[in-house]
Amino acid sequence: MAEIPKLHQEGYDRLTIGLHWATAVMVAIQFVIGKTAPLLPRGALRVDIWSIHVVQGFVLSAVVLAGVFWRRMHRRTAPTERGVFRALATATHHMLEALLIMIVALGILDVFAHAFPLFNVVSFPRLGDDQFMRHVNAWHEVAANILIVVALGHAGAALLHHYVLRDNILTRMWPGPGERESGHNSTS
């Protein structure tokens, strides 16, 4: 088997990898909670599950902002795609970032629009009326659904690269020996 070009061997730094996977795991958990919590009967358990969603949403917003800041401040790894595939990969990464920012912003707005009672201990101040709340909630859900579709496409592309093209794209973002410790690289 031919040696993999240096372009494909270069991995991402630990912070980039950590932010990527923390975001992926939190988005998956948030999506599952968002789809299943409404199925629970109204009451304390449902409020507690939604409270976990709210708290994790605030943590996710910090992780997303840290990732955006980190990517803007650090050099990216060399692109592995060329031509239309590079344009598609770049567009997908920009779309993921924009959707993440939109979702956390809408989620925070949604918490205030609902005057959410966090663990039934403290309520956020109410912002807007019921119609505003319904609109914000609907847009938050639509953006989340779109994010999941784009993220699954992103994951599918990574698996295609790994198992079909065998070009080491996935291993660049996987924690382990291939990661860089210098902190000079970042994902797009």
Task: For residue 186, give both structure tokens.
Answer: 């970042």
Using CA atoms, how far residue 132 sits from 24, 144, 150, in Å, is 29, 18, 27
The answer to the question of residue 1 being in a domain is no
Would you tell me how many other CB atoms lie within 10 Å of the CB of residue 38? 11
The answer to the question of residue 105 being in a domain is yes
Better-predicted residue by pLDDT, 7 or 170: 170
Nearest Cα to Cα of residue 17 among 160, 168, 178, 147? 178
CATH number of the domain within which 142 lies: 1.20.950.20
Number of domains composing the chain = 1
* pLDDT at 7 exceeding the cut of 60: no
Supply the pTM of this predicted model: 0.85
The answer to the question of residue 183 being in a domain is no
The values of phi and psi at residue 114, to 5°, are: -85, -10
Nearest Cα to Cα of residue 19 among 79, 74, 90? 74
Nearest Cα to Cα of residue 151 among 75, 83, 99? 99
Q: Given pLDDT bands bounded at 50, 70 and 90, which one contains residue 65? A: very high
Query: What integer is the mean pLDDT of 80-104?
Result: 91
SS3 180: strand
The answer to the question of residue 112 being in a domain is yes
* pLDDT at 140 exceeding the cut of 80: yes
DSSP state of 43: S
Length of the chain: 188
